[in-house]
């Protein structure tokens, strides 16, 4: 039986002062707090079955280490490596009440669109809480409340302090920039090419808080609505100096290339940037890092100058690794402050000189150390004009190493997400150290064009307990590449350039480094050799684990995630083509909530998953006839329609889809359109997004 803790008067006063009356401990409840809607929420004990309908709240729960208690989340949330996958309960705007209730929650976190859900849960005596941040400053109150709810106050305090320090660094740096040189920064939410306007946040949006925290000057529009439309005259009057969007920016760039729109400074100077939507579209535990990234890109010409750097260049952390190889002196992951931002380097120091073969640096001799260096996003535009040699010298100078005897790879994948794999058999040992990211420049060989030259994104370092002959070192690169590609294909990683049509075989910037090693000589490392088998296994496992850590890519991820990776918009599918004179497309008559709800059902999700596989096979010319699959789709449509007459064929909105995927999605929507159910009103993206 629960017994309320005894709290001495002085301690009670101290707690009250610290929480500023927002958090309290009533006599009849172990946990009590005021949510962001001003409601007092009381819980008898730490909740054990939590459902979060707000992605940024889910992210905070994982960051606090309470992910095991998160039993349900929306389709927009993917757990980090090591956290269990919660059940999906639908989308943010129209989650499924039935799916929520099946999980028997003892607390549900809600957001703005969830009033109906809140009312239904209240009728069943299921507590709800709103912790959705409306402003950047709300982030710390959310963390304090979550720390109290889950008994992780110290973790919440440390995380809140870390974010404050990230923001304080940028405030300190931008304070050195003269006020007259501060730049006008604008966040574009969407463009409407047909009607000729862009949508931007209102004055009181957290989006503008992020811009201000980055040292930028957001516009003052005199409107506090969630979205404000700007016509050409208003756009030219604002004359933004930096513009950014979330996700792919091709559509925005095409619109801004129009006469008049392209005359503003941001477009003329090529300062139209794109950032990940999970950073730009919510206040989250990652907002401090995003502010650093945004600020460094807005003021890159300042931040690369010593006069605007406030921290010494130095090593600040060192984490040892155990490779279990006799010729390795030591292996570590270092954290370094370079140009004020936290870099990380894997460094493997050797007892004696060795040869190395690197796809970045070529054949090297007399090598005493090899490594892999992570550039954080904030540093991606700082000092790159000097080329690779300048970047290498900068890093090695901080580490106290020489370029003449150190082989180095470079990546944008965080070294905290390093995968270390060790494979052993018959006295042979292989170590593969892998970092991987495949969200931005994954490619399919012989299908995608190469337009960039930049450091590697999937980096592999191979070491063995054998002395590899030159031919074995060269063949090891092929073995590693084949294993990497197998991992990407088994995960269905999509090409960043043709995601709807092609799986990726790698990224455009991958590199492999093979060390000569020490021990008995080895001449073979191909697929028919035991050494090659171990290399392939280690690399395959390393790529999969690194992608899980960096991009949260799991083989069993939801059909919603796989459609999103192909840039198939469910919102666009539900929009019929616009008629002449219409600003926005009309609806097909099916609600997003109903579509998401049926895709939560395994039988209908399986239909889409089969369509995805068939679409890839058809693209390769391996499927000649689709009548059997078409019959399956027809059966699904009639099943959804029930006893109602089947609706006539529909014309899907959005981009043209491969025939199998178009058949499957049209069948589901057609079946739903046949149902006489009331639509679920939702708020979708602004028309034209």
CA 237, chain centre distance (Å): 34
Q: Do 587 and 545 fall into the same domain?
A: no
Q: Do 388 and 513 fall into the same domain?
A: yes
Residues 307-330 as b/e (b if ≥16 CB within 10 A, e otherwise) read ebbeeebebeeeeebebebebbee
pLDDT of residue 12: 38
In a domain, 250, yes or no: yes
Give the residue-averaged pLDDT of 205-220: 97
In a domain, 685, yes or no: no
What are the tens digits of pLDDT across the range 286-299? 999 999 999 999 99
Which burial class, exposed, middle or buried, applies to 520 when counting CB atoms under 10 A from its CB (0-12, 13-18, 19+)?
exposed
Rounded to whole angstroms, the Cα distance separating 413 from 394 reads 19
Q: Do 495 and 453 fall into the same domain?
A: yes
58 vs 391 pLDDT, higher one: 58
- Residue 196 φ/ψ region, left for φ over 0, alpha for ψ in the -120 to 50 degree band, beta for the rest: left
> What CATH number has the domain bearing residue 66?
3.40.50.1980
Total domains present in the chain: 4
In a domain, 679, yes or no: no
pLDDT of residue 385: 73
**Eight-state DSSP code of residue 26:** -
Q: Do 300 and 334 fall into the same domain?
A: no
Cβ count near 389 (within 10 Å): 9
The SS3 call for residue 651 is coil
Q: Do 356 and 280 fall into the same domain?
A: no
- Residue corresponding to tokens 């930096």: 242
As given in the structure block, the two tokens for residue 114 are 């969830």
pLDDT of residue 585: 41
In the structure, what pLDDT confidence band is assigned to residue 676 with cuts at 50, 70 and 90?
A: confident
Domain boundary among 108, 129, 151: 151
What are the tens digits of pLDDT across the range 57-82? 999 999 999 999 999 999 999 999 99
What are the tens digits of pLDDT across the range 421-476? 999 999 999 999 999 998 877 655 545 444 443 434 899 999 999 999 999 999 99
Can you point out the beta strands (E) in 375-438? Answer: 406-411, 419-425, 428-435
Between the CA of residue 492 and those of 77, 495, 556, 613, 656, what are the distances in Å?
19, 9, 10, 10, 21
Give the residue-averaged pLDDT of 148-158: 97
In the structure, what pLDDT confidence band is assigned to residue 635 with cuts at 50, 70 and 90?
A: very high
Q: Do 380 and 516 fall into the same domain?
A: yes
pLDDT of residue 504: 93
With a cut of 80, say whether residue 44 has pLDDT above it: yes
CA angle 463, 469, 473 (to 5 degrees): 50
With a cut of 90, say whether residue 171 has pLDDT above it: yes
Rounded to whole angstroms, the Cα distance separating 408 from 573 reads 46
In a domain, 164, yes or no: no
What are the tens digits of pLDDT across the range 509-518? 899 999 999 9
- Residue 386 φ/ψ region, left for φ over 0, alpha for ψ in the -120 to 50 degree band, beta for the rest: alpha
Rounded to whole angstroms, the Cα distance separating 379 from 414 reads 13
Domain that holds residue 509: 314-551
Instruction: Give every CB contact of residue 9 below 8 A, 6+ residues apart in sequence.
Output: none
The SS3 call for residue 504 is coil
Q: Do 324 and 433 fall into the same domain?
A: yes
Rounded to whole angstroms, the Cα distance separating 329 from 556 reads 40
Give the residue-averaged pLDDT of 170-192: 97
In a domain, 161, yes or no: no
Q: Do 103 and 202 fall into the same domain?
A: no
pLDDT of residue 33: 92
pLDDT of residue 445: 54
What are the tens digits of pLDDT across the range 561-581? 999 999 998 888 887 544 333
In a domain, 341, yes or no: yes
Q: Do 301 and 330 fall into the same domain?
A: no
Rounded to whole angstroms, the Cα distance separating 530 from 516 reads 17
| pTM of the predicted structure, to 2 decimals | 0.89
In a domain, 135, yes or no: yes
In a domain, 12, yes or no: no
Query: Considering only 103-112, 216-225, 571-580, which range has the smallest mean pLDDT?
Result: 571-580
For 33-48, give the secondary structure using H, E and C: EECCCCCEEEECCCCC
Q: Do 655 and 606 fall into the same domain?
A: yes
Give the residue-averaged pLDDT of 222-230: 91
Q: Please, what is the average pLDDT of the chain?
A: 90
Helix, strand, coil shares of the chain as percentages rounded to 5? 40, 20, 40
Q: Do 194 and 127 fall into the same domain?
A: no
In the structure, what pLDDT confidence band is assigned to residue 5 with cuts at 50, 70 and 90?
A: very low
Q: Do 208 and 72 fall into the same domain?
A: no
């Amino acid at each position: 039986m629960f017994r309320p803790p005894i709290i001495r008067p002085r301690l009670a006063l101290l707690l009250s002062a610290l929480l500023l009356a927002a958090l309290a401990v009533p006599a009849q409840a172990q946990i009590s707090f005021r949510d962001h809607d001003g409601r007092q929420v009381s819980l008898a004990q730490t909740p054990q079955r939590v459902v979060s309908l707000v992605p940024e709240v889910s992210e905070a729960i994982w960051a606090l280490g309470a992910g095991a208690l998160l039993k349900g989340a929306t389709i927009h949330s993917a757990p980090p490596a090591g956290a269990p996958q919660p059940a999906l309960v639908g989308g943010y705007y129209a989650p499924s009440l039935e799916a929520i209730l099946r999980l028997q929650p003892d607390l549900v976190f809600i957001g703005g669109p969830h009033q109906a859900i809140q009312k239904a849960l209240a009728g069943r005596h299921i507590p709800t809480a709103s912790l959705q941040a409306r402003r950047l400053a709300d982030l710390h109150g959310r963390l304090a409340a979550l720390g109290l709810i889950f008994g992780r106050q110290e973790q919440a305090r440390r995380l809140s302090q870390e974010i404050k320090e990230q923001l304080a660094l940028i405030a300190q740096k931008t304070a050195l920039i003269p006020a007259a040189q501060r730049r006008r920064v604008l966040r574009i939410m969407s463009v409407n090419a047909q009607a000729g306007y862009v949508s931007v946040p209102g004055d009181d949006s957290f989006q503008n808080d992020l811009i201000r925290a980055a040292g930028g000057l957001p516009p003052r529009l005199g409107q506090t609505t969630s979205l404000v439309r700007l016509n050409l005259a208003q756009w030219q009057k604002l004359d933004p100096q930096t513009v950014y969007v979330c996700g792919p920016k091709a559509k925005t760039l095409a619109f801004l290339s129009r006469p008049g729109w392209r005359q503003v400074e941001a477009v003329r100077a090529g300062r139209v940037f794109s950032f990940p939507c999970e950073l730009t579209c919510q206040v989250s535990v990652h907002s401090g890092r995003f502010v650093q990234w945004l600020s460094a890109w807005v003021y890159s010409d300042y931040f690369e100058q010593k006069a605007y750097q406030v921290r010494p260049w130095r090593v600040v952390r060192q984490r040892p690794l155990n490779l279990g190889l006799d010729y390795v002196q030591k292996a570590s992951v270092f954290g370094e402050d370079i140009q004020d931002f936290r870099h990380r380097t894997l460094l493997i120091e050797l007892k004696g000189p060795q040869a190395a073969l690197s796809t970045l640096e070529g054949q090297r001799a007399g090598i005493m150390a090899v490594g892999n260096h992570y550039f954080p996003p904030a540093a991606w535009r700082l000092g790159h004009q000097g080329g690779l040699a300048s970047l290498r010298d900068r890093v090695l100078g901080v580490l106290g190493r020489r370029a003449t005897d150190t082989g180095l790879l470079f990546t944008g994948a965080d070294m905290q997400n390093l995968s270390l794999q060790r494979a052993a058999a018959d006295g042979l040992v292989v170590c593969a150290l892998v970092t991987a990211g495949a969200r931005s420049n994954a490619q399919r060989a012989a299908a995608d064009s190469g337009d960039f030259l930049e450091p590697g994104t999937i980096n592999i370092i191979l070491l063995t307990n054998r002395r590899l002959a030159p031919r074995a070192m060269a063949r090891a690169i092929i073995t590693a590449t084949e294993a990497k590609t197998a991992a990407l294909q088994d995960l269905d990683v999509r090409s960043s350039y043709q995601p709807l049509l092609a799986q990726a075989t790698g990224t455009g910037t991958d590199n492999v480094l093979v060390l000569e090693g020490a021990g008995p000589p080895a001449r073979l490392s191909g697929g028919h050799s035991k050494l090659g088998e171990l290399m392939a296994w280690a690399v395959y496992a390393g790529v999969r684990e690194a992608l899980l850590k960096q991009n949260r890519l799991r083989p069993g991820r939801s059909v919603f995630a796989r459609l999103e990776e192909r840039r198939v918009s469910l919102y666009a599918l539900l929009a019929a083509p616009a008629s002449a004179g219409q600003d926005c497309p009309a609806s097909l008559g099916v609600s997003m909530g109903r579509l998401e709800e049926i895709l939560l059902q395994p039988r209908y999700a399986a239909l889409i998953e089969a369509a995805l596989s068939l679409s890839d096979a058809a693209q390769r010319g391996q499927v000649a006839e689709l009548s059997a699959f078409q019959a399956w789709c027809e059966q699904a449509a009639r099943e959804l329609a029930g006893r109602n007459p089947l609706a006539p064929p529909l014309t899907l909105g959005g981009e043209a889809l491969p025939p199998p995927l178009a058949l499957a999605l049209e069948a589901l929507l057609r079946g739903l359109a046949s149902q006489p159910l009331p639509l679920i009103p939702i708020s979708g993206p602004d028309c034209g997004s």
